[in-house]
Amino acid sequence: MMFFADRMLGKLAKKLRLLGFDTLYLSQIEEDEILKLCFETGRILITRNRELHMKALKQGIRSLLLKSDSWRQQLVELSKVLDLKNADRMTRCSLCNAELILANPEKVKQKVPLYVQQIRNEFYECPVCGRLYWEGTHVEHALEEFRRLNL
């Protein structure tokens, strides 16, 4: 399942990536380009724009129209029609959507606080922006949020 998140859904896009879903989010893109991209790549369009939603449906694109403007409620709306439980969590960069790779140990030594290095063994890195990921802190926080939303 791959998504395209429309303009107003930047926060939701980040959360979907943390859940493990390939989610494109581009703030500077014309509606026609969005539709073309979704059509050609089979991405599901997620939008709060009814007009865009209707256009997408007419072109045979799978589109989901969200009502809420909070990302938590948006996730709940999505989870009612899609299975969000079935993805490999923490495999994508929340900023770039790139797939994470095992982090270079040298980089971990330089950038990760010592106490974290002592309690964690696995570190991942985004090949695009270089951000490091490990279990704990923001990752734990995100997982906790998902559990609370029953995702």
> Which residues lie near Zn ion (CB under 5 A)?
93, 95-96, 126, 128-129, 131
Can you say how many angstroms the Cα of residue 148 is from the centroid of all Cα atoms in its chain? 18
C-alpha to C-alpha distance for 52 and 57, rounded to whole angstroms? 9
Asked if residues 54 and 73 have their Cβ atoms less than 8 Å apart, the reply is: no
| Residue with Cβ nearer Zn ion (49 or 94) | 94
What DSSP element (H or E) covers 24? strand 22-25
Between 37 and 96, CB nearer to Zn ion: 96
- In whole angstroms, the minimum distance from the beta carbon of 96 to Zn ion comes to 3
**Min CB(14)–Zn ion separation in Å:** 11
Least CB distance from residue 100 to Zn ion, whole Å? 8
- The residue (of 76 and 98) whose beta carbon lies closer to Zn ion is 98
Closest CB to Zn ion among residues 98, 149: 98
Q: Pairing mode, if any, of strands 22-25 and 2-5?
A: parallel
Min CB(11)–Zn ion separation in Å: 16
Tokens found for residue 18: 């943390």
